[in-house]
Structure 1
Amino acid sequence: MENSKMLSPEQLYEKKIHVIGRITILMGIGLSLLVPILLWIYYGVFPPMDNLLKGVFTVSSFMIPLSIAEILSFYPILGSGGIYMAYTTGNIANLKLPSAAIGMEVADVKPSTKEGEIISTIAMSGSVIMCELILVVGVFLLGPISVKLNSPMLKPAFQHILPALFGSIGAYYILKDWKLSVIPMIIGILFSAFNVPTSVAVPICVLCSIYAAKFLYKRGRISL
């Protein structure tokens, strides 16, 4: 109690965010593992240990560097509370990050500030609530329309959902300041042409983007 009274409101907020965030992250991990554990206990379904370890190693080999690169690049925009919320609920690049960016733009606050962190957390909270409501409605409506969605006529459209989604998100940031997108786009195209693994391409693109932005800022080509 004495230590809490000595902390400033900002420090107390940050401390509570980390406490609540760690608890929710651990609860999310536990609940995620609960389904396969219950299937294992109740039905005796368990993959061979060799295959399990190979799968874990394969996924970890690109997810660990990718996750580190994402956290380092997302943190200035999302802040502490936003990072915990985003990694607990998912859909970061296609939902949480745009919600935070648009919320800060509407509220006229900047990233990497306390005001920006609070606004981004509020914006993402709204996106989480709306996403859950839409999922609930979708679950009830999916049954009657699932036959039509599987029709050969609509199948090609679903193959282009992800490119269309990430393309629209990328266009939003490119239009805000196209000069920042030149280097990442060139590197991304080169990596794609030479089939560079995602686990290698993403961290390199993030680092090159940061240094390119720093270079442009020092030359007076961009402003904060």
Structure 2
Amino acid sequence: MNKNKRFTDKMHFWGSVWSISALAVLYCVPLIFSLYYNVFPQFSVLLKALAAVIPIYWGTAIVEVITYTPMLGAGGTYLSFVTGNIANLKLPCAMNAMNRADVKATSEEGEVISTIAIGASAITTTVIIAVGVLAFLPVIPYITAEGSVIKPAFEFVIPALFGALGASYFAKYWKLSILPILIGVIVYIFVPSLPVGTMLFVTIVVSLLGAFGMYKLKWIKE
């Protein structure tokens, strides 16, 4: 118990340190550019621009923390929010790793595996992106040009990724998958402009309520 508590305390300490450090670096970038070029935006103009987007991002940020933390664990959450690209990469990697190890997200084993998977994902992504940028830099203008026959394929990368990752879960937990997919389709039919972060929260809540209802009705065992 004491070892687990010390591990958790250290995780929260270093997670807080690196989260604050990442925020400081992000804020320093525009500040350094402003100081170097001696160009500072007018506060009234900046505030007016931020007023239009801050409510959206604050809502999304709150929803993402509430949604992702139970699935990723403390260590995975800190790593994910510092390195970014959670929904597209970190979350699928963590869930797939825990599924392969046959552990639950809320268990101590699940938290450790989630943290390792997300850390490995972040390192691998950084290396692959660096190599890919250097290798494809000469040909990128040609394959992404308006007349390129390959360009339309880039619009389907994320759907293809999630389709491949989701197919195994849908097949394994098909009873739990029907309700959130159905609700998601219906919501997007009537509210097609709904932000992805909000839709993610809606479908997760529906999944939880649906799973609880099916468990109470004894349609599923666990």
Bin of the TM-score, shorter chain as denominator length: 0.7 to 0.9
CA contact (8 A) 1:99 1:123 kept: yes
User: How far apart in 2 are the matches of 1:21 and 1:116?
Assistant: 18
Count of matched residue positions in the alignment of Structure 1 and Structure 2: 218
Higher relative contact order (CA 8 A, sep 6+): 1
The one-character-per-residue Cα deviations of 1:108-161 (angstroms, maximum 9, x if unpaired) are 222200011011111111111111111221231232222322232222112222
Q: What is the DSSP-based 3-state SS (H/G/I as helix, E as strand, rest coil) of the residue aligned with 1:144?
A: coil
Structure 1 residues 9-158: aligned runs within 5 Å:
9-151=3-145, 152=147, 153-158=149-154
| Larger mean Cα displacement after TM superposition, 97-106 or 57-66 | 57-66
Structure 2 residue aligned with 1:208:
206
Q: Which residue of 2 aligns with 1:169?
A: 165
Corresponding residue for residue 218 of structure 1: 216
Letter of the 2:187 partner, please give it: F
Q: What is the CA distance between 1:200 and its match in structure 2?
A: 4.7
Identity percentage over the alignment? 36
SS of the residue corresponding to residue 138 of structure 2 reads: helix
Amino acid across the alignment from 1:49: F
The answer for the alignment partner of 1:3 in structure 2 is none
C-alpha deviation, 1:51, in angstroms? 4.0
Gaps of 5+ in 1: 1-6
CA distance in 2, matches of 1:209, 1:193: 19
Q: How far apart, in 1, do the equivalents of 2:200 and 2:121 lie?
A: 26
- 1:160-184 residue CA offsets vs partner (Å, 9 max, x unmatched): 2233233333334322312222222
Letter in 1 for 2:32: L
List per-residue Cα deviations over 1:75-134 (Å, max 9, x = no partner): 222110000001110111221112112212222222200011011111111111111111
Aligned-partner SS, 1:124: helix
- What amino acid sits opposite 2:216 in the alignment? K
Cα distance between partner residues in 2 of 1:197 and 1:54? 23
Q: TM-score, normalised by structure 2?
A: 0.87
Change (3 A) 1:47 1:97: same
What is the CA RMSD across the aligned residues, in angstroms?
A: 2.1
Cα–Cα, structure 1 residues 43 and 9, in superposed 2: closer, same or farther, change >3 Å?
Answer: same
**Where in structure 1 do 4 or more consecutive aligned residues deviate above 4 Å?**
none
Distance 1:104 1:202, change over 3 A: closer
* Displacement of 1:8: 0.8
Match of 2:194 in 1: 197
Structure 2 gap segments, 5+ residues each: none
